[in-house]
Amino acid sequence: MDINNKARIHWACRRGMRELDISIMPFFEHDYDTLSDDEKHTFVRLLACDDPDLFNWLMNHGKPADADLQHMIALIQQRNRERGPVAI
């Protein structure tokens, strides 16, 4: 997926699992544009992962084997914590 095709990435962020939507969508909406190109590629790779894996990683029930994906999960968690609770 092209890292500059924000409409397609936005669509890929919609997971259908509320917990994932609450974590991923605000990060995309508020932080995606601030990422480096390498981080954007990692975020897009993260979106290709299965929902159960994403859920477990974002809820701290394990970590991805890939160090770049681990960094992206940590970044999403950090930025969401800094922003505070969101309502969807």
Q: Give the C-alpha separation, 39 to 52, whole Å.
A: 22
- Examine residue 1 and state whether it is found in any structural domain, yes or no: no
Per-residue pLDDT of 29-88, as tens digits, reads 999 999 999 999 999 999 999 999 999 999 999 999 999 999 999 999 999 889 876 654
The DSSP secondary structure of 21-52, one letter per residue, reads: HHHHHHHHHHHGGGS-HHHHHHHHHHHTS-HH
CB 27 within 8 A of CB 80: yes
- Examine residue 88 and state whether it is found in any structural domain, yes or no: no
Number of domains forming the structure of the chain: 1
Q: Give the C-alpha separation, 78 to 11, whole Å.
A: 23
- Examine residue 58 and state whether it is found in any structural domain, yes or no: yes
Q: Give the C-alpha separation, 63 to 76, whole Å.
A: 13
Q: Give the structural domain span for 54.
A: 6-83
- In which band, very low, low, confident or very high, does the pLDDT at 7 lie, cut at 50, 70 and 90? very high
Q: What is the largest CA-CA distance in the chain?
A: 31
Residue 42: CATH number of its domain: 1.10.150.250
Q: What's the predicted TM-score (pTM) here?
A: 0.90
Structure tokens at 42: 């990692």
